Amino acid sequence: MMTAISFEGVNQTYMTKSGETTALQEIWLDIEEGELIGLVGPSGCGKSTLLSLAAGLLPPTSGTVEVFGQKGTGPSPDCGYMFQQDYLLPWRTILDNVLIGAEITSTVTPALKHRALALLDELGLSGTAHKHPHQLSGGMRQRVALGRTLLTEPRIVLLDEPFSALDYQIKLQLEELIADTLKARRLTGVLVTHDLGEAVAMCDRIVVLRNRPGRIKRVLSVPESLRSLSPLAARETPEFHSLFRTIWGDLQDEY
Ligand SMILES: Nc1ncnc2c1ncn2[C@@H]1O[C@H](COP(=O)(O)OP(=O)(O)OP(=O)(O)O)[C@@H](O)[C@H]1O
């Protein structure tokens, strides 16, 4: 198995009008290919900064970030993003929204359109291709956003709280869809979330970050017995509650 993302002694400092903010300090972390990693920690501990560093959107102040063994020199074509908001363009059809990333980086061929339509089917969005975003529910729109990300064939999907604006029921369904889709395609995922239950139910490992400046407090492996269950079924087990309590305890000290 290859290492997908490697953070080696990473420090990140932001310069602001009021001075320097140290967002991350001495981050050492290897994320393996095919793994889904959860990042949890108090607000402002540097979770989104870690995603930006992985995506090559930000050069580290010091230390190195490697993606599949390559030191980044700019936005990485291996990484796709999903955000809390779907950022669909309201004037474009669903199909044209799915095609947009590919449209920017390459040309839209009939084969690509065919793949986009197949993706819509796979994500439970058959029949929506010619609709517009306002005609779809929040959960469906996030599935379109997932399709748009997958169409560019990233090897890594960076998930920045993609479920936090959704109703609980929809959120659980989407958690399952995303976890299954990433696993089926052997993609690597990094999930930033404020919802511990979501991290425990979906991820293979969970990184707990300390309060600012963000440092790694602990990395926990989710037991195989939990990982083999759907995020919904996992929530019913004693292992889920035990891991939830451990992380809860870790985080209590950070607030
Ligand atoms: N572009 C920037 N310029 C200056 N400071 C920044 C910038 N981006 C982030 N920061 C600061 O760096 C720290 C880490 O921010 P980051 O957004 O990575 O944390 P986070 O854990 O994702 O936060 P949240 O959970 O609230 O989304 C915060 O103190 C934030 O104010």
pLDDT, position 197: 94
Q: What angle do CA 104, 158, 253 make, to 5 degrees?
A: 150
| 100-122: average pLDDT | 91
> How far does the centroid of ligand 1 lie from the alpha carbon of residue 23, in Å?
7
pLDDT, position 141: 96
* This model's pTM is above 0.80: yes
Question: Cα–Cα distance between 75 and 5 in angstroms, integer?
Answer: 14
The CATH architecture one would assign to domain 1-78+160-255 is: 3-Layer(aba) Sandwich (3.40)
For the chain, the domains span 1-78+160-255, 88-153
Q: Which atom of ligand 1 is nearest to the CA of 16?
A: 4
> How far does the centroid of ligand 1 lie from the alpha carbon of residue 195, in Å?
18
Check if 156 has its Cβ closer than 6 Å to any atom of ligand 1: no
By most ligand atoms within 8 Å of CB, the mutation choice from 13, 43, 47 for ligand 1 is: 47
Q: Tell me if 205 sits within 8 A of 192, measured CB to CB.
A: no
pLDDT, position 94: 98
Residue 56's region, left for phi above 0, alpha for psi from -120 to 50, else beta, is: left
- 139-154 pLDDT per residue, tens: 999 999 999 999 999 9
- The set of residues, in sequence order, having a beta carbon less than 8 Å from that of 96 and lying 6+ positions away, is 89
Amino acid at 78: D
- 33-67 pLDDT per residue, tens: 999 999 999 999 999 999 999 999 999 999 999 99
